[in-house]
Amino acid sequence: MKTLERLWTVDEVAVYLGVPAATLYQWRCRRIGPPAHRVGKHLRYLPEDVRAWVREQA
């Protein structure tokens, strides 16, 4: 059974990608950034989705 990683916050993804958090919000509006999910009122990212998105950019 695969162990699930905890979801990343916007700030954690911003640090991982080396971009401002505001850039992630802009990308989300333009539908060009890594896929994000709403958890209640919070925006969260699956780490494997972020890593896959980075690989696709190369």
pLDDT averages per 10-residue partition of the chain, 58 residues:
84 98 97 96 97 95
CA distance 5 to 27: 23
pTM, to two decimals: 0.89
CA distance 44 to 37: 5
CA distance 37 to 29: 13
Task: Write out the two tokens for 54.
Answer: 């980075």
